Structure 1
Amino acid sequence: MKVKYLGTGAAEGWPGVFCGCQHCRKARIRGGKNIRTRSSVLIDDSMMVDFPPDSYSHVISYGLDFSRLKHLVITHSHQDHFFTDDLKLRKPVFAHLEDNSILNIYGNMAVGEIMTEILNSNSDLKQYMSFRYIPPFETYIADDIRITPLLASHDRNEDCYIYIFEDKHGKRMLYGNDTGIFPDATWEYIEGYYFDLVSLDCTTGPEPEGIYHMGIPDNIKIKERMTKTGAADNATKFILTHFSHNGGLLHEQLIELVRPYEFQIAYDGFEVYV
């Protein structure tokens, strides 16, 4: 399984579009891995997780061709993860697509309500786009990848999801963005599996949060519990992403802080194989 981190920032990006804080000023000056667009990943070049407002920038930066994208998995309906204005352009004359080129979109009921409205008001999109609701803890197979949504601890107005992705070789990733410490039902589910890769929210950087997002102290708790229950071990890759400027630490500072805990710090364009 190949996982490419297209964006690794929180809702406002880093530097924030309107922000003049010292952390955003430093990121502008230093550039490189300190520039973080809104979070998204690409799995095996055919499945994308979340569709942020920076998706067009990702196409340009990484030479991507989203006309070939087959599956789009959405964690929740917030606009930094589900930016629908660009999705509405997946039809002629804005996009010239091959026959039967359908983008399959998956998500929770809140995402489904938005997609129903979009497809009902843009009937010509229906031949280029579809939506499937996947209930929590139920598995759907999309080509060679098994997708299982789990409940996140985030927006209480909808069932926000984190996901398990498993490829045809049995390699398994837990993608845990936009969540605090996992709900009990999610813990009960994941403790029956082993994970080769665990990707965790680190919005608050060095500070704990644990309710809607996580920081490094929360990430440590997650890793310790998963290791204790056998859901992870020393071979499991733990990667932190979804950073906010409010956390305050630039890329190299984050690397130094997590070194004793053997976390990897994702950056825009980071690739990992399991």
Structure 2
Amino acid sequence: MRVRLLGTGAADGWPQAFCRCASCGAQREDRILRVPTSALVDDVLLIDGNADSPGAATRAGADLAGVRHLLVTHAHVDHLAPQLLLFRSWVSQEPIDVVGPAAVIDACRPWVAPDAPVRWIEVAAGDHVELGRHRVRVLPANHRVMADGDAVLYDVEDAGGDRLLWGCDTGPWEPAWFDAVREADFDVVVLEQTFGPAGQVSPGHLHLDSFGELVKRLRGVGAVTASTDVLAVHLSHHNPPESELVARLAAMGARPARDGEIVTGRPA
């Protein structure tokens, strides 16, 4: 599995364009810029494609021409830009799957022609979906747009057995949810960490302490192992500057992801 992280920031990016706080200033000085979080998996699966994703792909020397599956966690604007389906239709009539909770499907339908080659796949936690050479299991998220259950997370496995946990957005998990990933032994875990040391600013997101606790619980059920690459994303200016953040996350067996970086499954 080849996962290109197109963006690793929160909804407002980091640095935040309207902000001159010390955290944003340090990121500008170091030219570490993050746009809202999304990823391109094996060049065919776009996860949480947002308005910044096309530009991010171009800056990374990639494109989205091969995308055949759009996988969306929820209908917040930093995770879903339905206009991308219109832009794509101007240059391609290749079939595409659009996968997500009901609100995602409803938001996307007006952006495509009635006869467009789109397969609409509405999902909820507990569902399984086959997307070409990828198998997707839908997991619950402690996050909501308008109602409980309208946001989900994804367990993505490729034909070779490499496995990705896409954990963005979510707050702390319910204890029963860990059973669904017991002994999963993920190759890559991409997990949100929005609020740094600020504490519980929002129950639908993680901060450094709750991120560390969730990673610890995932490790305790065998979902995270010694060889799992644990990446913090959805990073905001509530976090400390990069050098301090690297150290804080390293103590948890994790690291902050960077826009444009490529992570892969473990060698056979």
Give SS of 1:217's match. helix
Give SS of 1:89's match. helix
- In the alignment, structure 1 residue 226 sits paired with structure 2 residue 215: no
Give SS of 1:66's match. coil
**Which residue of 63, 66, 86 maps to 2:64?**
66
Question: Distance in 1 between the 2:16 and 2:199 partners?
Answer: 21
Residue 85 of structure 1: aligned partner? 83
Q: How far did 1:128 drift?
A: 4.6
Question: Distance in 2 between the 1:57 and 1:178 partners?
Answer: 22
**Identity across matched positions, percent:** 28
Q: Structure 1 215/57 Cα, relative in aligned 2: closer, same or farther at 3 Å?
A: same
Question: Distance in 2 between the 1:69 and 1:267 partners?
Answer: 22
Gaps of 5+ in 1: none
Residue 107 of structure 2: aligned partner? 114
Give yes or no for contact 1:151–1:183 (8 Å, CA) kept in 2. Answer: no
1:96 alignment partner AA: V
Give yes or no for contact 1:203–1:241 (8 Å, CA) kept in 2. Answer: yes
Q: How far did 1:26 drift?
A: 2.5
- In the alignment, structure 1 residue 147 sits paired with structure 2 residue 136: yes
Deviation digits for residues 84-108 of structure 1 (CA, Å, limit 9, x no counterpart): 23332222xxx322xx512211100
- In the alignment, structure 1 residue 52 sits paired with structure 2 residue 45: no
Residue 125 of structure 2: aligned partner? 136
Give yes or no for contact 2:39–2:49 (8 Å, CA) kept in 1. Answer: no
Residue 216 of structure 1: aligned partner? 208
Give SS of 2:238's match. helix
- In the alignment, structure 1 residue 157 sits paired with structure 2 residue 146: yes
Question: Distance in 1 between the 2:119 and 2:131 partners?
Answer: 13
2:178 alignment partner AA: W
Question: Distance in 2 between the 1:109 and 1:192 partners?
Answer: 30
Give yes or no for contact 1:4–1:271 (8 Å, CA) kept in 2. Answer: yes
2:224 alignment partner AA: A
Residue 243 of structure 1: aligned partner? 235
Give yes or no for contact 2:7–2:35 (8 Å, CA) kept in 1. Answer: yes
- In the alignment, structure 1 residue 256 sits paired with structure 2 residue 251: no
Give yes or no for contact 2:215–2:252 (8 Å, CA) kept in 1. Answer: no
- In the alignment, structure 1 residue 177 sits paired with structure 2 residue 129: no
Question: Distance in 2 between the 1:270 and 1:142 partners?
Answer: 24
1:115 alignment partner AA: C
Give SS of 2:88's match. coil
Q: Structure 1 233/192 Cα, relative in aligned 2: closer, same or farther at 3 Å?
A: closer
Give yes or no for contact 2:232–2:254 (8 Å, CA) kept in 1. Answer: yes
Residue 16 of structure 2: aligned partner? 16
Deviation digits for residues 145-201 of structure 1 (CA, Å, limit 9, x no counterpart): 111111101126242011100111222111101101123453231225332222111
Mean Cα displacement is larger for which, 173-182 or 64-73?
A: 64-73
Give yes or no for contact 1:207–1:217 (8 Å, CA) kept in 2. Answer: no
Give yes or no for contact 1:59–1:65 (8 Å, CA) kept in 2. Answer: yes
1:227 alignment partner AA: R
Give SS of 2:235's match. coil
Give SS of 2:196's match. coil
TM-score calculated relative to the size of structure 2: 0.90
Q: How far did 1:111 drift?
A: 0.5
Give yes or no for contact 1:152–1:183 (8 Å, CA) kept in 2. Answer: no
- In the alignment, structure 1 residue 6 sits paired with structure 2 residue 6: yes
RMSD between aligned alpha carbons? 1.9
Task: Give the total of aligned pairs.
Answer: 262
Question: Distance in 1 between the 2:228 and 2:215 partners?
Answer: 10
Q: Structure 1 250/130 Cα, relative in aligned 2: closer, same or farther at 3 Å?
A: farther
Question: Distance in 1 between the 2:106 and 2:98 partners?
Answer: 12
Question: Distance in 1 between the 2:169 and 2:33 partners?
Answer: 19
Deviation digits for residues 193-233 of structure 1 (CA, Å, limit 9, x no counterpart): 33222211110123443721112211221122122222222
